[in-house]
Amino acid sequence: AAKDAGRGQYRIFEPMMLEASEARRRLLTDLKEALSEGQFSVFYQPIICSASGRVASYEALLRWQHPELGTISPETFIPLAEDAGLISEIGGWVMRTACEAAMHLDDDVIMAVNVSPLQFDDSLASRVVNALGATGLPPRRLQLEVTESVFMRGADRTAEELARLDAIGVSLALDDFGTGYSSLGYLQRAAFAKIKIDRSFVTKSGENCKESTAIVRAIVALADSLGMITTAEGIQTKAEADLLRALGCTQLQGYFFGKPAPLETYLAPLAEIAGHVRGNG
Ligand code: C2E
Ligand code: MG
Ligand code: MG
Ligand code: MG
């Protein structure tokens, strides 16, 4: 789709094509081998502090390099991995890889890892503890991003699991906020440190949509009064960066500041990124 042109490099398999069960079966078979065949890698995208222009954290984003089909989008293969019962194992690998990567970064930089609702089984807390233990990353430097859909499997059980994770010392972020059921009650079901404002609101606010701008203002006010920080997702232009900063978002993330890329991309030029941000701010 035209609106996804920015990510064209891995749009070979559109989710729709998976309806062809042949293609889906094949991808599923290949997915089972992907971890042991070393076809996964983790890319990292910087998240910028609005006030200082410095990198506050990185989000870890999984990539699958298929030997014949090229790079396949997580939006395609994560649902497959969930259906196939592979998500906990894959997610555990991502967690460990991202924690290891974080050990190469400044020790005030946080590493954020996406966690699927289907990873919320008995092994999640122990996988988190194992990843921290194996890499030596302090728990306060790991953040777990979950979407509201995590509460769909039973809000009480989920709240218990989130409390267990909170007790380990990792922080929690509510991802893609505003796109799901957005029951405000979820905000008090766990100790969320952060709300991530979905890209759709950012884009529309940038197009002068009054309603989207009002929604962003309301989310920021809500987060502020609850003592949570906000990250605006999907910032693609300087105008959007300026706007979302002016609307009070604590942090900014998007292609304007940096695309998801291998860790090495961000190891040397940290100062350069910050300079770029300041130069534009
Ligand atoms: P998400 O967690 O909301 O991640 C943000 C997505 O927006 C990423 O897509 C990122 O590349 C993209 N993005 C960032 N900035 C911009 C921008 O300025 N413009 C545009 N158009 N897009 C931007 P990606 O990497 O394709 O991941 C898609 C989704 O797949 C993620 O959404 C997340 O829900 C899921 N995902 C990715 N990695 C993992 C993982 O390791 N585990 C799990 N469970 N889910 C993952
Ligand atoms: Mg995320
Ligand atoms: Mg998101
Ligand atoms: Mg998402």
pLDDT tens column, 165-203? 999 999 999 999 988 776 788 898 889 999 999 999 999
What confidence score (pLDDT) does residue 16 get?
59
Q: Position of tokens 């978002």?
A: 249
Neighbours of 142 (CB within 10 A): 24
Ligand 1 in reach of 260 Cβ (< 6 A): yes
Q: Which ligand is nearest to the CA of 260?
A: 1
Which distant-in-sequence residues (6+ apart) come within 8 Å of 146 by Cβ? 114, 115, 117, 162, 172, 173, 174, 175
How remote is the CA of residue 173 from the centroid of ligand 2, in Å?
9
**What is the per-residue pLDDT across 86-129, written as a single tens digit (0 to 9) for each?**
999 999 999 999 999 999 999 999 999 999 999 998 789 999 99
How remote is the CA of residue 174 from the centroid of ligand 2, in Å?
9
Protein residue with its CA nearest to atom 37 in ligand 1: 61
Instruction: Determine what percent of the chain is predicted with pLDDT higher than 90.
Output: 78
Rounded Cα distance between 33 and 22, Å, is: 18
pLDDT higher than 80, residue 6: no
pLDDT higher than 90, residue 72: yes
How remote is the CA of residue 22 from the centroid of ligand 3, in Å?
30
Q: Summarize the confidence of residues 12-33 as an average pLDDT.
A: 78
What confidence score (pLDDT) does residue 160 get?
93
**Ligand 1 atom closest to the CA of 74, numbered from 1:** 30
Ligand 1 in reach of 81 Cβ (< 6 A): no
How remote is the CA of residue 195 from the centroid of ligand 3, in Å?
10
Which has the minimum average pLDDT: 112-126, 135-149, 219-233?
Answer: 112-126
CB 124 within 8 A of CB 165: yes
Instruction: Tell me the whole-structure pTM to 2 decimals.
Output: 0.90
Q: Respond yes or no on whether ipTM tops 0.90.
A: yes
Work out the mean pLDDT of the chain and round it to a whole number.
90
Q: Which ligand is nearest to the CA of 202?
A: 1
What confidence score (pLDDT) does residue 1 get?
37
